[in-house]
Amino acid sequence: ATLPYDDDNIFARILRGKIPAKRVYEDAHALAFHDIAPQAPVHVLVIPKGRYVSWDDFAATADDTEIAGFVRAVATVAREQGLVEPGYRLLANVGSHGGQEVPHLHVHLFGGRALGRMVA
C-alpha cells in the first residue's frame, strides 16, 4: 500500500510558494523547477500539482486527464530546455529501493551532456 500523502513535504511547500525554487514551467497540471543539487548541466524536476506520493500512486489513482497533462508537461519542459535534439534522460525514483527521498511524485529530466549508459 502507498504511504499517505504528507502535505508538509518539500515539494508540496514549493507548490504552495512557501519555499523558493527556480521555476522553469507551470501549467494546470504540472510545475517544473531546477534541482537544488544538479547532476547534469540541465537537471529539472517536473511534478504534478496533485497530491501523489509516487509514480505508482499517480498511475493508479490520477484521472486520465491529469496523467495526460503531466506526460505532456514533462515533454514540453524537455523541449523548452532544448533537450530533444541532443537527447535527454527521464527518471522517476520510487520508494526506498528506488532511492526516492521526497514523497511527492517527481520526474527528473537530465541533459546538456552525453549521459552515458545507465547501468542501474
By annotation, the residues acting in catalysis are 106
Binders of ligand 5GP in range 4-33 (CB under 6 A)? 10, 19, 21, 33
Rounded to a whole number of angstroms, the minimum distance from the CB of residue 75 to ligand 5GP is: 19
* Residues between 29 and 58 that touch ligand 5GP (CB under 6 A): 33-37
Look up cell 511524485; give the residue. 105
The C-alpha cell 504540472 sits at 30
* CA–CA dist 83, 42 (Å, integer): 9
Pick from 1, 10, 5: nearest CA to 53: 5
Name the residues that contact ligand 5GP, by CB under 6 A. 10, 19, 21, 33-37, 93, 99-102
